[in-house]
Amino acid sequence: MHPRTWASIVLPIFLFLTSQISFAPVVEAKRSRHVPRVSEFTGEVSRIHDGDTFTAIVGGIPLKIRLNGIDAPELSQPFGLEAKYGLGDLIHERIVRIVALGKDKNRRTIADVYLHDGRRVNDELVKAGMAWWSRKHSRDKKLEALEAEARRSHRGLWAQNHAIPPWRYRYPDKTLQSASR
């Protein structure tokens, strides 16, 4: 077989097979009773988006990560910038261990994230009063206890008299409609 013919056969097959490889080692979570498979890897944090979302470079590819089980104030909300800077102080330009649990509706990787000393970033933010425990998306009793302690101690966003959770802040009309029923 002529070398040029060989390349014209092998190259398209090679390109097809490599296009089927997922570079992000994450399995998308299905909405079912089954526990999603977990994927674990490390990455260097390159950008902080807000108090619960960042981008890490994993294997040379940027991967947008949303911290599991917590919800930080929106940037336009009181304490929103403080939460973003708090997350940045913990992880920006650092290597972190990412335990991916799936993807959210915005295709961000949902993950528990760990510092080099073993502390879970998700816990640290709730403990510091930088985020709420997301009751709707997590049954993590540790996050529940950390939030209760932060509230009692008036840490971070709990120093405010009436902190508005981000899920209410994002959809104020929906909250008013449900409150009037």
Residue 9 has pLDDT above 80, yes or no: no
Q: In which region does residue 79 sit, left (phi positive, over 0), alpha (psi from -120 to 50) or beta (all else)? A: left
181 is catalytic: no
Q: What is the DSSP string of 139-166?
A: --HHHHHHHHHHHHTT-GGGGSSSPPPH
With a cut of 90, say whether residue 110 has pLDDT above it. Answer: yes
Catalytic residue chosen out of the listed positions 31, 40, 44, 74: 74
Angle, alpha carbons 35-41-44 (nearest 5°) = 135
Residue 174 lies in a domain: no
Mean predicted lDDT score pLDDT of the chain: 83
- Split into its structural domains, the chain has a count of 1
Look up the domain containing 56 and give its range. 30-159
Please say if 74 is a catalytic residue: yes
Catalytic choice (108, 120, 124, 147): 108
Assigned domain for 81 exists: yes
Mark whether 108 is an active-site residue. Answer: yes
Query: Does some domain include residue 176?
Result: no
CA distance 178 to 129: 27
The pLDDT of residue 155 is: 96
Average pLDDT over residues 17-44: 57
Please pick, among 31, 37, 40, 66, the residue that the annotation labels catalytic. 66
Residue 19 has pLDDT above 80, yes or no: no
The stretch 27-41 carries a mean pLDDT of 56
Is residue 21 a part of any domain in this protein? no
Of 34-38, 117-121, 156-160, where does the model show the most confidence? 117-121
Residue 61 within a domain: yes
pLDDT tens digits for range 138-147 = 889 999 999 9
Mean pLDDT of 152-175: 85
Q: Is residue 8 part of a domain?
A: no
Contact yes or no for 88/48 (Cβ under 8 A): yes
Domain with residue 143: its CATH number is: 2.40.50.90
Assigned domain for 87 exists: yes
pLDDT of 35 reads 45
Is 58 among the domain residues? yes
C-alpha 116, offset from chain centre: 18
User: For residue range 76-106, what is the model confidence (pLDDT) as tens digits?
Assistant: 999 999 999 999 999 999 999 999 999 999 9
Q: What is the pLDDT of residue 21?
A: 42
Q: What pLDDT is attached to residue 172?
A: 76
Residue 3, pLDDT score: 54
